[in-house]
């Protein structure tokens, strides 16, 4: 079947009519400056919640790196809080270390510059919260007390299994070099 010029003209007619309607209707929906409209659209977009994150969205090769960043975030936050204590006081109360850890998850340390820092921050916040939910604030606090830091190797390989555990065979092979 060959298409004639009349066929082509008819098939593009709805697009043309839509274009004319859009051009004719411009300005009738919005009585104001374009920057005000854009600001209103941005406010609406900012109010739309982010979709939830789960572990499958974080690439396997980044999970360990992110977990190390979370461990560093926990260590820094707990160090700052414990150093601000008077010398006569040892350690934090339960509600204090819980608050410190939860607040630390709001702005975790980023492990590096990736293409999309927004996604990286989102994934780190989720992973941080997931670590606290899985292990519990008390376990994280106990790690900090025992080692004067939150050791990433222990945090990330225990129940979480975000970092592969190094086998004794592998350690011996690298030690021989």
| Tens place of pLDDT per residue across the chain (177 aa) | 454 444 444 455 566 666 665 566 555 555 667 778 778 777 877 776 666 777 888 888 888 999 999 999 999 999 999 999 888 888 899 999 999 999 999 887 766 655 566 668 888 899 999 999 999 999 999 999 999 999 999 999 868 888 876 665 555 555 544
**Helix, strand, coil distribution of the chain in percent, nearest 5:** 65, 0, 35
Q: Please report whether residue 117 resides in a domain.
A: yes
Reported in sequence order, the residue ranges of the chain that DSSP labels E, i.e. its strands, are none
Q: Please report whether residue 115 resides in a domain.
A: yes
Structure tokens at 78: 């707990």
Q: Please report whether residue 126 resides in a domain.
A: yes
Structural domain total, the chain: 1
Q: Please report whether residue 146 resides in a domain.
A: yes
110: containing domain:
55-164
Q: Please report whether residue 40 resides in a domain.
A: no
42 torsion bin: left (phi>0), alpha (psi -120 to 50), beta (else): alpha
């Amino acid at each position: 079947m060959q298409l004639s010029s009349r066929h082509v003209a008819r098939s593009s007619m709805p697009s043309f009519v839509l274009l004319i309607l859009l051009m004719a209707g411009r300005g009738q929906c919005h009585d104001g400056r374009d920057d005000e409209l854009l600001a209103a659209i941005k406010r609406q977009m900012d109010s739309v919640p982010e979709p939830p994150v789960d572990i499958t969205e974080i690439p396997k090769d980044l999970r360990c790196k992110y977990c190390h960043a979370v461990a560093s975030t926990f260590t820094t936050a707990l160090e700052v809080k414990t150093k601000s204590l008077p010398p006569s006081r040892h350690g934090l109360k339960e509600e204090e270390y819980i608050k410190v850890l939860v607040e630390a998850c709001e702005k975790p340390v980023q492990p590096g510059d990736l293409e999309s820092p927004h996604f990286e921050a989102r994934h780190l916040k989720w992973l941080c919260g997931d670590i606290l939910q899985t292990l519990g604030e008390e376990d994280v606090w106990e790690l900090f007390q025992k080692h004067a830091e939150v050791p990433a190797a222990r945090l990330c390989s225990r129940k979480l299994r975000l970092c592969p555990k190094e086998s004794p065979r592998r350690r011996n092979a690298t030690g021989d070099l």
